[in-house]
Structure formats: structure tokens, C-alpha cells
Structure 1
Amino acid sequence: MIDEVIIDSSVWIHTLRSKNKSSLSLRVNDLILEDKAVMLPMIRMELLGGTKSVKEFKRLDSRLSGLRNFDISENIWKIATQWAFEFRQNGYTIPNGDLLIAASAKFHNLNLMHADKHFDMISEYIDLQMENVSNYL
């Protein structure tokens, strides 16, 4: 059973900007409180790179620092690189960041919560534990 969940930036952005407590925001909060939310360097960079001020950057950086972090190892880079090649050979261009995130989920046997069509495309060919939460947005 997969307990830990990588929460993609496509979900974080919605929950961080939401003024009200949606069911998705509550689920993300529960994952954080239960220590099941996993952060990857790629997602952290996407989130912090999108902040609009130093104050917002520091506030979000502090909030994210409490999450468990999984590094992107050389093995994960190799998996993502192989997938990038295979997808392009079959006529698909998937963003490299999404491939790294999906490869991390596969390598660490983690669930991936997302609202990004690229992950659905990846999961058509790669066996991954994913949940598309677009219907909650």
C-alpha cells in the first residue's frame, strides 16, 4: 500500500491560492498533518520560483521546509531520460520536469497527486500510482 504522496505543483498552486477551504485543500492539509506529503526539488523550485515577493518566498519556503524531501538521484535522472527518449520516439513531447516527477514517484513507489494532463499521458504507458484531482479544481 502506498501511503506517501508527491503533491505536484498543479495541486499546490490551487490549494495555496484558494481563499476558501475546498475539499482538495483539506485533503492536502491532512496529508501534511499525517506526514504523508512528499516534496521534490523540482516541485519546490516551481512553487518558490512563482512567488511574487521576498516576503512570499520566505513564507512559502518556511512552510515547505517542514515536508519530507526526496532527492532526485542519478537513477531517477536515468529513468526520466529513457522515458523522454521513448516518448519522443513515439511522437509525444512531455516536459522534462514532469518526467522527473513521475520517475521519482515510480522509483520511490509513491502516489502522485496532480491536475496536469501530462501525467495522464505518462500513465498510459508507465505503470504509476496517480490521482488526477482536476475535478476538484
Structure 2
Amino acid sequence: MILVDTSVWIDVLRDRQGRARGVFQAFMGDEPYVLCRFTQLELLQGAKDEREWGLLDEYLSAQYYLEATENTWRDAARIYFELRRKGLTISSPMDCCIAQVAMDGDALLLHRDRDFEKIGRIRPLKLSWFESS
């Protein structure tokens, strides 16, 4: 199972030439993919207008999701805490939550966000960098 991060969805959904979509489809093949609620939140908050919000909301409501567990929050906070103690800074604690959801679900995390590479230094996070160009 593959958890697709917001950074990939932005490339795929905003790609006017279809290149990112083609790379995404080729990468995925028949492999099932999921999102997490943090990705849903990030995509919806980035909608440009009401029309885009509606389209995204409809699309996202039909997707499959890996859900956070009761320990996700604490475990994600621990990731952030340990990164900081090692002198590694990430842009958002949300990435710690996404990484923890992926680990809890034993999913590969497909992404274009260097913060996940940092998290992967201290956690057994399965990662694949999405290269759309």
C-alpha cells in the first residue's frame, strides 16, 4: 500500500501538460494507494476558489484513507522532539503526523518533501521520492 503525500498531489493536480499524472500512473500501476486526513486538510486549505474547493472535496470524499490511531499524536510529537534534539529542523509538525500514519499502516510514503527524508533518518519510514520531471 502506498500513502501519497500532499506534495505529490499538488504536482499531479496542478500539472497542465499531464506529465506528472503520467509519471504517477506509471509508478502506481495496479498498486493501491491511500491518503491520510492530513493530506485531505492540506489539499482543501490550498484550494484557489469555491469551484476548486468543491471539485477537491468531491474527489477526496471518494478516496481511501489511512486513519490516525490514538497513539499517532504522541508518536508524531516524539518524532519532532527527536529531530529537534539532533539539530534537524522540519517545516511542519504535520509531516511528523503523516510519517507516523504511514508507519502505523506499514505503507510506503510517496512524496516530494525533504522533511520526510529527515524523518527517515531517525525512523523506519519507507520512502519513495516522486520525480515528476
TM-score of the aligned structures, taking structure 1 as reference length: 0.86
Partner of 1:116: 113
Within-5 A mapping of 1:44-83: 44-83=40-79
Report the alpha carbon displacement of residue 59 of structure 1 after superposing the two structures with TM.
0.6
**Matched-pair contact (CA < 8 Å) for 2:23–2:132:** no
Q: What CA deviation, in whole Å up to 9, does each residue of 1:19-78 have, x standing for no partner?
A: 1221x4135346888471211111111111011111110111111112111222221112
Number of residue equivalences: 132
Q: What CA deviation, in whole Å up to 9, does each residue of 1:97-125 have, x standing for no partner?
A: 10000011111100100001111111122
What is the aligned-residue RMSD (CA, Å)? 2.0
What SS class does the counterpart of residue 113 from structure 1 fall into?
strand
What SS class does the counterpart of residue 89 from structure 2 fall into?
coil
Identity of aligned residues (%): 29
Distance 1:57 1:33 in 2: 28
Partner of 1:84: 80
Closer, same or farther in 2 for the Cα pair 1:53/1:35, shift >3 Å? farther
Closer, same or farther in 2 for the Cα pair 1:126/1:115, shift >3 Å? same
Closer, same or farther in 2 for the Cα pair 1:12/1:70, shift >3 Å? same
